[in-house]
Amino acid sequence: MASSLGKWLNPFHVDPGAQRSKLLHRRLLRALAISTRNFTMAVLAVGTLAQAVHVLPAGVLITIGLAVLLRLGWAIRARDASGQPVSPNSILVFFGLSVVVLAYLRSLADGDGLQPHYDYVIRLDSVVLGTVPTVWLQEHLYHYPRFAILDAYALATYLSYFFVPFLAAVFLWHNWPVRFRLYLTAFLVTMVTGTAYVALVPTAPPWMAANNGHLPEVFRIVRIVVDRVAPGAYQNGYAAAGINEVASFPSFHMSESLLVVMAAWGYGRWPRRIGIVYALSMGFSLVYLGEHYVADVLAGAALGLASWRCALSLTPQTRPSIQAPESAPGAAVLRPRPEAT
């Protein structure tokens, strides 16, 4: 039963060699089709769960979710201890349930009533330039209401956060299951650690600090541009996603971008270079657009790197496979290069 389900979810994991005779573009198209189908099923499952909240108390659902997570986590650790491989599908289910539970717990943290902090990040950012870099950048580079090429680049980089980490996970799931597990483990560590800090020390971003008199004028460029194209779309999107506006420190945008870089690190020189450029572009964009301080970005980068190191220690049985990715099962779409030893 489990084998049949695994083959249905991803045939690459069951028989990766069967796909190697196909042309690359056919393998990519098949991977895209499988991912689209599975994503649709996941959306339907989340929708069904959201409807179940109206029938069962949320506390009951969270208790059930935690019980399943503990059972699945125990099974994964037991297989690690005995040296047995862990199915990528088990990791995917564990991650999916974790995200649902964490999203609910974060919604509770968002409404804990604590007042947002302003001054400590402003002081941290003022150490080098004597002023907040966001203020300096917008004074010299942003010209309201004109929409320049730099604004478009920064906006595109900022919005890529909402799909690039997901695409990286999909690619790793099809192509390198061992690193897929590392990536998702680091992702969970980032979410848990960052959410805990945000719950205890909610921190306002630069645009909010300016609105409340803590900084000179700071434009929220993302909202200005999006509302210019589709009035009200930005606020409606934020409300639908339930995004916490006082979760500035550390920057989840930056930490998860660093995880994408780490995931790309085993695929050769050019993916590494592209990943580094992407992370640097994300850091600049977050500060320039008024969404984060430099301190937020640096803390987010540190959190991402620390989470990756923590993931390595939490999955000790995977280290030999990480060092020799050519032996990883499921490398049917694009084989990563072996890392230097």
Report the alpha-carbon distance of residue 322 to residue 171 in Å, rounded.
16
CA 86 to chain centre: 22
Report the alpha-carbon distance of residue 2 to residue 144 in Å, rounded.
57
Report residue 332's pLDDT band, with 50, 70 and 90 as the boundaries.
very low
The pLDDT value given to residue 1: 43
156 residue type, one letter? A
Say which DSSP state 116 is in: P
The pTM for the full model equals 0.77
**Domain boundary assignment for the chain:** 2-327
Please state whether the peptide bond connecting residue 250 to the residue before it is cis, i.e. omega within 30 degrees of 0: yes
What percent of the chain stands above pLDDT 70? 69
Give backbone dihedrals phi and psi of 247, rounded to 5 degrees, phi first.
-115, 50
What percent of the chain stands above pLDDT 90? 27
Tell me the C-alpha to C-alpha distance, in Å, between residue 64 and each of 71, 94, 98, 109, 207: 11, 13, 12, 20, 40
pLDDT at 204 over 80: yes
pLDDT at 127 over 60: yes
66 vs 119, more confident: 119
The number of beta carbons lying within 10 Å of the beta carbon of residue 45 is: 12
- Chain segment 143-183, per-residue pLDDT in tens: 888 888 999 999 999 999 988 998 888 888 777 777 888 89
Tell me the C-alpha to C-alpha distance, in Å, between residue 13 and each of 42, 87, 330, 334: 19, 9, 5, 14
Span 308-319, mean pLDDT?
Answer: 76
Q: Of the ranges 12-21, 160-169, 329-338, which is most confident?
A: 160-169
Tell me the C-alpha to C-alpha distance, in Å, between residue 288 and each of 22, 157, 295: 45, 12, 13
Report the alpha-carbon distance of residue 239 to residue 4 in Å, rounded.
39
149 residue type, one letter? I
Tokens 């994503």, located at residue: 39
Span 287-292, mean pLDDT?
Answer: 94
195 vs 97, more confident: 195
Report the alpha-carbon distance of residue 44 to residue 95 in Å, rounded.
17
pLDDT at 279 over 90: yes
The pLDDT value given to residue 299: 95
pLDDT at 22 over 60: no
Structure token pair of residue 106: 């974060």
Report residue 291's pLDDT band, with 50, 70 and 90 as the boundaries.
very high
